[in-house]
C-alpha cells in the first residue's frame, strides 16, 4: 500500500500569504479589525468585479447575512439548489424560513431554470411569493443565470449567488459571485483559495454592504459606550486571516489554471472509457474546476462508483460521492422539492476525484492507474 495519501482538495498556501501574516502579526493588529481586513475586502472586490465586499467568519455567515438583508424571516419560503453542501439550506433555517429545493439540469449540474419557474408560479398561486432564492454554483461551475435573473425580475425576487465553490469561474464574461444581487464566498480549507476559514459577501448595493458589516460586528451602534439597537452576530473576519487572504489572492489565477489543467487531464485519460462521464462544462461560461467529478455507469463500465471509491481509498487516495441532495437529507425530510431526479442520479453515480491545485502529474497517474486496473479486473468477473 502506498502511504503517501492523496487528498481531495487540500490547502495550497502561497509563500506570500506567510509574509502577509507575519507582517500583520508583528504589527500587533490581532483584533478582529485592522488594516489588512479593509485591504482584503477592497482587493477581493476588485478581483471579482464587485463594488463592495464584507469579510466574515465563514461562507455560511455570508449566506445568513445575505438572507437577512433581503428580509427573509419566519413564515417565508426560499427556493434553494438541492445539489449542494448543506450550508445554504441551514442558513435559510437560521432565519426561521423554510427551503424549497429545486433540482439540477444535466448540462451544468446547477439549478434548472425551468423547474425554478414552476416552483415560483406555484408559490405565487398559493400566495407565498418568496423574497429571495439561493442558487449554488456547484463544483466550480456557474449556473445558467440569464433565465434565472429574468425569473427573479419577473417575480420580484432577490437573487443570492452561493459562489463558495466557484471563485474564479465566469458566466458569459462575468465573474462568479457578481451574477446575482448578493454573492457569497467561502475560504474553507478545501476551497479554491483558503485562509483556513472565513468567507466574503459581495454586492453592488452600498446600503447592504454597510448593514452586513454592522450586523457582523454585533450590531454595535456608533457611541462611546457599547450601544445596541438590534440583534447582531459575531461574524467579522479577523485581521490575521485577512492578511493571509491578501497573500493568497496573488496566486489565485495560477491555482485556477492548475485545476483546469487537472480537469482536462482526467478528461483526456478517461475519454475512451465506456461508462465514465466527466461533469460537463457549460457552454455559457468557464468553470474554475474546483472539483473534477465523474458519473459512473456500472452497466457499461463493469464496476460501480462505490467500488472505485473503495479501491482508491485502499491505495490511500481520497475520493467522495457527489453531494447528497438536500431533499434526501434526513434533517429536511418533508420539505418541498421541485423535481429531484437529476440530482438523485448525480448522487447515485457521481464521484469527486482529487483535484487540488498542488496535485502533481505523477499523482494523477497513480489515481488513474487504480481506476484502470479495477475496470480491467471488474469487467472479466
Task: Encode pLDDT of 30-44 as tens digits.
Answer: 877 889 999 999 999
For residue 211, give the nearest of 241, 184, 231 by alpha carbon.
Answer: 231
Q: Is 191 a catalytic residue?
A: yes
For 213-263, write each residue's pLDDT tens digit. Answer: 999 999 999 999 999 999 999 999 999 999 999 999 999 999 999 999 999
Banded model confidence at residue 144, pLDDT cuts 50, 70, 90: very high
Say whether pLDDT at 380 is over 80: no
Summarize the confidence of residues 131-155 as an average pLDDT. Answer: 98
> pTM, whole model, 2 decimals?
0.96
Residues 51, 131, 191, 324: which is the catalytic one?
A: 191
The dihedrals phi and psi of 282, each to the nearest 5 degrees, come to -60, 145
For 117-140, write each residue's pLDDT tens digit. Answer: 999 999 999 999 999 999 999 999
The dihedrals phi and psi of 55, each to the nearest 5 degrees, come to -85, 130
Helix ranges (H only) for the chain are: 15-27, 35-48, 59-69, 87-94, 113-125, 145-155, 206-216, 239-249, 252-269, 298-301, 305-314, 341-349, 361-378
Buried b vs exposed e over 7-35: b needs ≥16 C-beta within 10 Å?
bbbbbbbbeebeebbeebeeeebeebebe
Banded model confidence at residue 381, pLDDT cuts 50, 70, 90: very low
Summarize the confidence of residues 23-34 as an average pLDDT. Answer: 88
Domains contained in the chain, CATH given: 15-251 (3.40.640.10), 253-378 (3.90.1150.10)
Say whether pLDDT at 6 is over 80: yes
C-alpha to C-alpha distance for 29 and 327, rounded to whole angstroms:
44
For 276-324, write each residue's pLDDT tens digit. Answer: 999 999 999 999 999 999 999 999 999 999 999 999 999 999 999 999 9
The dihedrals phi and psi of 292, each to the nearest 5 degrees, come to -85, 125
Q: What does the mean pLDDT of the chain come to?
A: 96
Task: Look up residue 88 and give its three cell numbers.
Answer: 445554504
Say whether pLDDT at 336 is over 50: yes
Amino acid at each position: 500500500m502506498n502511504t503517501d495519501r492523496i487528498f481531495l482538495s487540500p490547502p495550497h498556501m502561497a509563500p506570500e500569504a506567510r509574509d502577509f501574516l507575519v507582517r500583520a502579526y508583528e504589527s500587533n493588529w490581532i483584533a478582529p479589525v485592522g488594516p489588512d481586513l479593509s485591504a482584503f475586502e477592497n482587493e477581493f472586490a476588485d478581483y471579482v468585479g464587485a463594488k463592495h465586499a464584507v469579510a466574515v467568519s465563514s461562507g455560511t455567515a455570508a449566506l445568513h447575512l445575505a438572507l437577512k438583508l433581503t428580509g427573509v424571516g419566519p413564515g417565508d419560503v426560499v427556493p434553494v439548489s438541492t445539489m449542494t453542501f448543506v450550508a445554504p439550506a441551514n442558513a435559510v433555517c437560521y432565519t426561521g424560513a423554510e427551503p424549497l429545493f429545486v433540482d439540477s439540469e444535466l448540462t451544468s449540474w446547477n439549478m434548472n431554470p425551468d423547474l425554478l419557474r414552476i416552483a415560483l408560479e406555484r408559490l405565487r398561486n398559493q400566495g407565498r411569493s418568496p423574497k429571495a432564492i439561493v442558487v449554488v454554483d456547484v463544483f466550480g461551475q456557474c449556473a445558467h443565470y440569464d433565465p434565472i435573473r429574468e425569473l427573479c425580475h419577473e417575480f420580484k425576487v432577490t437573487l443570492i449567488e452561493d459562489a463558495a465553490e466557484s471563485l474564479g469561474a465566469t458566466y458569459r464574461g462575468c465573474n462568479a459571485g457578481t451574477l446575482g444581487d448578493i454573492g457569497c464566498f467561502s475560504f474553507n480549507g478545501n476551497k479554491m483559495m483558503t485562509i483556513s476559514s472565513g468567507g466574503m459577501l459581495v454586492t453592488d448595493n452600498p446600503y447592504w454592504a454597510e448593514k452586513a458589516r454592522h450586523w457582523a460586528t454585533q450590531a454595535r451602534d456608533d457611541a462611546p459606550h457599547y450601544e445596541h439597537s438590534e440583534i447582531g452576530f459575531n461574524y467579522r473576519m479577523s485581521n490575521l486571516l485577512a492578511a493571509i487572504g491578501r497573500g493568497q489572492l496573488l496566486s489565485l489565477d495560477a491555482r485556477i489554471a492548475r485545476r483546469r489543467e487537472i480537469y482536462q487531464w482526467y478528461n483526456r485519460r478517461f475519454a475512451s472509457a465506456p461508462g465514465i462521464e466527466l461533469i460537463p462544462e457549460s457552454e455559457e461560461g468557464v468553470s474554475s474546476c474546483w472539483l473534477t467529478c465523474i458519473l459512473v455507469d456500472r452497466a457499461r463500465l463493469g464496476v460501480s462508483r462505490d467500488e472505485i471509491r473503495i479501491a482508491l481509498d485502499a491505495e490511500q487516495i481520497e475520493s467522495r460521492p457527489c453531494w447528497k441532495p438536500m431533499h434526501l437529507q434526513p434533517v429536511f425530510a418533508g420539505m418541498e422539492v421541485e423535481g429531484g431526479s437529476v440530482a438523485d442520479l448525480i448522487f447515485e453515480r457521481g464521484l469527486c476525484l482529487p483535484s487540488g491545485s498542488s496535485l502533481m502529474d505523477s499523482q494523477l497517474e497513480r489515481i488513474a492507474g487504480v481506476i484502470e486496473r479495477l475496470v480491467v479486473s471488474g469487467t472479466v468477473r
